[in-house]
Amino acid sequence: MGAFPQTMYFTGLNAPVGQEASLKGLTVEGTLPAEVRGSFYRAVPDPAFPPRFENDHTLSGDGMVSRLSFNADGTADFAIRFVETARYLAEKAAGEARFGKYRNPFTDEADVAGVDRTVANTTPVWHAGRLLMAKEDGRPYRVDPKTLETLGSYDFGGALKSETMTAHVRIDPATKELFFYGYEADGVASTKVAYCVVGPDGALKSEQWFDAPYCAMMHDFTVSENYALFPIYPTTADLERLKAGGEHWHHEPELDSWLGVMPRYGDVSEIRWFKGPKGVHSYHMMNAWEDADGLLHFDACLNSTNAFAFIREPSGIHIQPWDVRGALTRWTVDPKAEGGEVTETIIGPPGDFPVIPAARQGRPYTHGWMLTMNPELQGPPLPGGPVGAMFNLLLRLDMRGGPPQALALPPMAGFNEPVHVPSATEGHEGWLITIVDQQIGDDAFLHQAWVIDAGNIAAGPVAKVTIPHRLRPQVHGWWVPQAELDAAQ
């Protein structure tokens, strides 16, 4: 096997790092709020070996789990380790990549046939005292929250039937239940979706299977107080294409999108399908909530097509990244109706990585945060991430219609998705922590964690921690308060 492809997915900020590290006692500049005590976990794809296919991309990278811990004494520690998946271990033993294309097992070498091929690279999920590294194409891997040691593939103590668990879960703030689903639940390109509810003790209480209208990339979903909402966008998989060695996903602009809605403790036979516009796509939802009239609102970072060029191109969609249209978009339905069409309202700017306070999950909410591109930036954005450019504007959106707040970065700098740290002070919106990447020379980067007052983001960071280790862009992160870590010992 040769070198890494010299494409945007493996160069610049996206250049593979693959170094495990443990760095103690990092200096915190500024004033770290006393409430910011705990660990910020991040999922970082980082291929241990050059891929077997030139067109490989970010989403195939081996999962690394990183931990930035904010200690009682006001210092910070940083650590990052590979998730030792069956795939990572098999390739490490071989000394080279043996698995083929993204989510296409038919392109793997024969000696790894049947080996779990997930790379656990998308979200560190914390629930019931367990840390799970999740990716939507397989079951998660459990890791030790202190040492980051891999504890093995996790199936809820043998209870989970689905072969997959999404990287986007929802935790009800009142019941502390974990709601998740797995799509392609019984094999690649299947329409089977498993809908699961886990009790606050971590026990899988229910797993029900249903058929999606077609096999779609179901990256995220939401729950409201009373409903579970499954969006279906026309980025589709096809078994024959996979067998022929093709790509897992093609985007199909002529297909309808759908929103499946069911009572969240109901039976999957109660799912009602509401039709949305053709050809649209969203990776992430901000929230779903019910109003006083019983209408159900579903707020997503919606785009006119799939945001990833490596999905558009094989689909024959040849447009420039800046020609992808997007907006924070609300779909409203009457959940008591037998079906119908969604009513669409534009409620915010283009962008992605929506964040809300965990306490407002599934409830009416007054504000949220997201990332976007600064239209006024005088200079280039920082190339990096799966789209090819890092977001460079952090927004606080007022969901009641007030003006947004913004925090802009200079040219050649980018934000990773923030996590929200709640505040115990009445009326205080808490804190955001985000890794900011800056290019400071040829292949030289500065990586800092910024702690920002969530209600006053325009003021800039109140504290910064420089991480003296080369960091690749993260996918998602999770904040775990120190008290929860201590309780999980």
Q: How many residues bind ligand V55 (CB under 6 A)?
A: 9
Min CB(119)–ligand V55 separation in Å: 8
**Cβ nearer to ligand V55, comparing 163 with 172:** 163
For the segment 282-301, give every residue that binds ligand V55 (CB under 6 A): 283
**Cβ nearer to ligand V55, comparing 145 with 386:** 386
d(CA 8, CA 343): 38
Q: Does 330 bind ligand V55 (CB under 6 A)?
A: no
Candidates 122, 224, 329, 405; binder of ligand V55 (CB under 6 A) is 122
Min CB(86)–ligand V55 separation in Å: 17
**Cβ nearer to ligand V55, comparing 64 with 393:** 64
Query: Residue 148: enclosing H or E segment and its boundaries?
Result: none
Min CB(265)–ligand V55 separation in Å: 28
Min CB(218)–ligand V55 separation in Å: 10
**Cβ nearer to ligand V55, comparing 117 with 297:** 117
For residues 178-204, one letter each, b for 16 or more C-beta atoms within 10 angstroms of the residue's C-beta and e for the rest, the string is: bbbbbbbbeebbbbbbbbbbbeeeeeb
**Of 158, 331, 326, 135, nearest in space to 232 by CA:** 331
**Cβ nearer to ligand V55, comparing 42 with 241:** 42
Give the tokens for residue 240.
């024959």
Q: Which residue is nearest to ligand V55 (CB)?
A: 59
**Cβ nearer to ligand V55, comparing 282 with 374:** 282
Q: CB burial class (10 A; 0-12, 13-18, 19+) of residue 107?
A: middle
Min CB(118)–ligand V55 separation in Å: 9
Min CB(50)–ligand V55 separation in Å: 18
Q: Does 472 bind ligand V55 (CB under 6 A)?
A: no
Rg of the chain (C-alpha set): 21
**Cβ nearer to ligand V55, comparing 237 with 262:** 237
Min CB(476)–ligand V55 separation in Å: 8
Q: Which residues pair with 330 in a beta bridge?
A: 299, 345
User: CB under 8 Å to 332, separation ≥6 — which residues?
Assistant: 295, 296, 297, 298, 342, 343, 344, 345
Candidates 62, 84, 91, 136; binder of ligand V55 (CB under 6 A) is 136
Candidates 67, 117, 135, 330; binder of ligand V55 (CB under 6 A) is 135
CA atoms within 13 A on the CB side of 40: 28
Q: CB burial class (10 A; 0-12, 13-18, 19+) of residue 129?
A: middle
**Cβ nearer to ligand V55, comparing 148 with 167:** 167
Give the tokens for residue 169.
């879960």
Q: Does 475 bind ligand V55 (CB under 6 A)?
A: yes
Give the tokens for residue 212.
């999606």
Min CB(78)–ligand V55 separation in Å: 21
Min CB(460)–ligand V55 separation in Å: 27
**Cβ nearer to ligand V55, comparing 67 with 103:** 103
Give the tokens for residue 120.
């656990």
Distances (CA, A) of 437 to 193, 355, 382, 414: 37, 19, 8, 5
Min CB(452)–ligand V55 separation in Å: 23
For the segment 42-61, give every residue that binds ligand V55 (CB under 6 A): 45, 59
For the segment 148-177, give every residue that binds ligand V55 (CB under 6 A): none
Q: CB burial class (10 A; 0-12, 13-18, 19+) of residue 382?
A: buried
Min CB(489)–ligand V55 separation in Å: 30
Place of tokens 């209600």: 455
For the segment 211-230, give every residue that binds ligand V55 (CB under 6 A): 219
**Cβ nearer to ligand V55, comparing 387 with 407:** 387
Distances (CA, A) of 27 to 75, 432, 463, 464: 6, 19, 10, 9
**Cβ nearer to ligand V55, comparing 219 with 330:** 219
**Of 399, 406, 383, 455, nearest in space to 426 by CA:** 455
Q: Does 121 bind ligand V55 (CB under 6 A)?
A: yes
The answer to whether residues 450 and 68 touch, using CB atoms and an 8 Å cutoff, is no
Place of tokens 């929860």: 484
**Cβ nearer to ligand V55, comparing 47 with 348:** 47
The answer to whether residues 474 and 435 touch, using CB atoms and an 8 Å cutoff, is yes
Min CB(107)–ligand V55 separation in Å: 16
Q: Does 480 bind ligand V55 (CB under 6 A)?
A: no
What does the binding site for ligand V55 look like in residue numbers (CB under 6 A)? 45, 59, 121-122, 135-136, 219, 283, 475
